[in-house]
Amino acid sequence: MWKKLKTNKSGAEGKIVALAPLAGFTESAFRRLCRELGADLTWTELISANAILAKGLKLPGLYISCEERPLRFQLQGSVEKTLAQAAELVLKELKPEGLDLNAGCPAKKVVKTGAGAALLENLPKLFRIAKALAEIAHGHGVDFSVKFRLGFAEDRLEAIAETLLSAGVDILVLHPRTAKEAFKGKARWERIRDLVSLAQDKASVYGSGDVKTLRDIENFFALTEAQGVLIGRAALFRPWIFKEWHERQIFDLNFSERLALLKRLYTYLLAYRNEKDALRFLKTFAPKFFKGLPLKRKFLPALLAKENTALFWKELESWQKFVE
Would you name the residues annotated as active-site residues? Answer: 105
Neighbours of 23 (CB within 10 A): 15
120 and 103 Cβ atoms separated by less than 8 Å: yes
Burial environment of residue 76 by CB neighbours within 10 A (0 to 12, 13 to 18, 19 or more) = buried
- Cis before 70 (ω within 30): yes
Side-chain half-sphere exposure of 103, counting CA atoms within 13 A: 31
> For residues 212-250, b (16+ Cβ closer than 10 Å) or e, as one string?
eebebbbebbeebebbbbbbbbbbbebbbbbbbbebebb
Phi, psi of 2 (to 5 degrees): -70, 135
Kindly give, in sequence order, each residue whose CB lies less than 8 Å from that of residue 181, ignoring residues fewer than 6 positions away: none
Neighbours of 55 (CB within 10 A): 11
Q: How far is CA 252 from CA 2, 242, 249, 261, 292, in A?
A: 6, 14, 10, 14, 11
Among candidate residues 40, 65, 15, the one with its CA nearest the CA of residue 225 = 15
